[in-house]
Structure 1
Amino acid sequence: MHVAYWVLALLLAAFYAYSGGKKLFQDRERLRPMMGWVDQVPMPRVRAIGAVEVLGALGLLLPPLTGVAVGLAVAAAVGLALVQVGAGALHLSRGEVREIGLNISLLVLAAVAAWLATSLL
């Protein structure tokens, strides 16, 4: 179970660190080709989503690595799953049904990571 958690946590952390970092540090024009929704969302909110994603990535890795507050890994995985619920809702509200496949996949992976993280407690 621990190996499965680490493989999944590393994959999710890499994805969310990259995605969140882009949202944190790139301007709207550079984000638009990959994320058309940024035109409808104020940039402070885009930056906040990026910060949540980066913090979630750190939360998947740092608590289990340090052995301090390991339960935060479960909370981080649940938080990232909730991010995908919100992302899926945004895509559906924009009529982008094709776009939610990635959101559903990431939601399932984050839920599995949360379940696997309970074995670390």
Structure 2
Amino acid sequence: MNLALWIAAGLLAAVALAGGITKTFVPKERLAAAPGGGWTGDASARFVKTLGVLEILAAAGLILPAALDIAPVLVPVTAVCWVLLMIGAMITHGRRGEAKFVMLNLIYLALAAFIAWGRFGPESFTG
């Protein structure tokens, strides 16, 4: 179970890091033209970059606290925050009729929920 949670956290951290770097450093106009990025046309550049920075922080929060053994409770807390972020993403893509991206966000949400459940519960770092 511990290995599965580490793998899930690694996969989710990679997704968060890739998305965060893209949102932070790629111009909003270019993001809006990309598949699934149309929502950025309705958002301010500052909002998109803020989401990007939050995703980069989430990538760090899913791995570093446990790997460095510094406040490892932040791993499941970060996973819960990711669940909330994915709910917002699903609502946004759903309103735009982008079912494919809603399903992708649902997969990310499920991974985060698994991490939160596992790290708050049976494979807690505090136990």
TM class by shorter-chain length? over 0.9
TM-score, reference length from structure 1: 0.93
Q: Residue type of the partner of 2:24?
A: L
For the 8 Å contact 1:78–1:111, the answer to whether it is kept is yes
Which amino acid is 2:112 matched to?
A
For 2:114, the equivalent position in structure 1 comes to 112
Residue 36 of structure 1, CA deviation: 1.1
| Identity rate, percent | 36
Q: Please, which moves more after superposition, 57-66 or 98-107? A: 98-107
- The count of aligned residue pairs is 121
What are structure 1's unaligned runs of at least 5 residues?
A: none
For 1:26-105, what aligned pairs fall within 5 Å after superposition?
26-32=26-32, 33-34=34-35, 35-105=37-107
Cα RMSD, aligned residues only: 1.2
Q: Deviations over 1:10-40 (max 9, x none)?
A: 1110111001110001101221213111101
The answer for unaligned runs of 5 or more in structure 2 is none
| Structure (1/2) with the larger helix percentage | 1
Match of residue 19 from structure 2: 19
